[in-house]
Amino acid sequence: MNEFKYGIDKLTVQVAINIADGKKRASLSEEAIDNIRASQQHVQEIVNNNKTVYGINTGFGILANTTISAEDTTILQHKILQSHSVGVGENIPLEIAKLMMITKVHALSQGFSGVQLATVERIIWHIENDIIPIVPAKGSVGASGDLAPLAHLFLPLIGLGQVYYKGMLHDTPDVLRKMHVSPIKLGPKEGLALINGTQFILSFAAKAVQRMHNCLEAADIIGAMSLEALTGTKAPFDARLHQLRPYTGNKLVAQRLRLLLHESAIMQSHVDCGRVQDPYSLRCMPQVHGASRNAWLHLKELTEIELNAVTDNPIILSANDTISGGNFHGQPLALPLDYACFAAAEIGNISDRRCYLLLEGKWGLPMLLMKDVGLNSGFMIPQYTTAALVTENKTLCFPASADSIPTSLGQEDHVSMGSISGRKLNQVLDNLEYILAIELLSACQAIEFRRPLKSSELLEYAHDYVREYVGFAAEDRIFADDINKVADIIKDFSFVENVNTFANNKSIELNKGFDMFQY
């Protein structure tokens, strides 16, 4: 596999996740090493020449006008990691912490932050040895960088904090001793460079791009299965209709639905049934799923800009040219993260509507998707769960970026709250994966009442794949077990990946012509 070069190559969501998963190697190029060394030399010249530059020989935030002596500049950088480690709450997933390190290395390696080469190499050492710092989830306001989480992330560089290593939680000094590694002595500006930046927001955004893409792909497949079970029509997916309102996401979803339903015997069996229109949750899938696709695309595009950006402050161009600005401000990601949050919640909303339709006992299906109801509750109660999760998602849709609270005694008087936006989006995706699992479970149950008729090759494959994990329910059982099994194949991407592989083997390109919707 081609090795990714930090600071030089373009970082994408897929590449970042592959590095985190160990599927792709990454290292510093000679050019990146030269850039890091040159930038660090610029900082050293600033200190030697007693030139006042924010964060190098001044305090931070409201203390920007407090001058720090040359001999205290290194102490200042050590203390900033300590003082800013104020995170609380549950720890973030280890994958997110690893993505934070990967994205920070890429930003530092571009040579505008003034850090030592040894510091960047130590972060890479943590990544390669899977020694992952423990980072509390709460405490960042998404401006001045993700200060608290990044401070926790880099405490291990100076021998403090805790790390997760070989399946266990350890105090950092114990692991460093075991590995015969000494803590880093930070130089001027390094502490500030480490905690300034959007890597917390960015890593949650990158993971959300991957997870939401999977949910959108799954929603089309599952929605098509529900439509088949409910003997709906594919007429609303006609390409000519969507060319008259040519939103890119809508056209993609309509194309996918046409291909997913192609040559279905179930579809053909009711062509002249006299039903004029299907309910919106079936008929309007291109418009609703498509709108969420467009929101996802916006998030992906901005996330990939941020993946390759320098979000430090100040920016070191040379010893005589530094810029103190606001590249650390999280607003460029906070807004699309909130937008994507609404879009993900709406996929769950329309999925729940289809779950409800499947239970009504209309169009030849038994009420509650079970023949002997009364003694059995059938699939009535799983829909209670989708209703609860949909409502929970609605409560998570308040845009964190709509709020701002001044910090640092008013010096930092507008903050993005994008860190909360990123966490909330991933919470909505947690719920969405379960909602889609319940619809998939219900659709598979319903399709079996259409036998001996068969659906399309793709949807029959999808049905059979689910049946490898969960069987038909002739009577009540503990449906939580079924839900969790189906949710697992959505969460680990195997449901979508296997359907896509089957489609490719049949020379069916579900996303042909829409490469922008890959990541």
Q: Which 3 state secondary structure label does DSSP give 23?
A: coil
The pLDDT value recorded for residue 382 is 98
The pLDDT value recorded for residue 62 is 65
The pLDDT value recorded for residue 145 is 86
Q: Domain spanning 204-313+324-403+410-517: which CATH class is it, in words?
A: mainly alpha
Contact by Cβ (8 Å): 83, 91: no
Q: Which 3 state secondary structure label does DSSP give 490?
A: helix
90 CB-contact burial (10 Å; exposed 0-12 / middle 13-18 / buried 19+)? exposed
Contact by Cβ (8 Å): 230, 189: no
The reply to whether 4-197 and 204-313+324-403+410-517 are identical in fold is no
Query: Which long-range contacts (C-beta less than 8 Å, at least 24 apart) are formed by 482-488?
Result: 482/441, 483/382, 483/385, 483/434, 483/437, 483/438, 483/441, 486/437, 486/438, 486/440, 486/441, 487/433, 487/434, 487/437
321 membership: H or E segment, kind and range: strand 321-323
Residues 435-447 have pLDDT tens digits of 999 999 999 999 9
Show me where the domains of the chain are located.
4-197, 204-313+324-403+410-517
The pLDDT value recorded for residue 135 is 98
4-197 in CATH: which number?
Answer: 1.10.275.10
The pLDDT value recorded for residue 64 is 67
pTM: 0.97
**Residues lower than pLDDT 50 in the chain:** none
- Rg of the chain over all Cα atoms, to the nearest angstrom: 26
- The DSSP 8-state label assigned to residue 9 in this structure reads S
Please list the active-site residues.
54
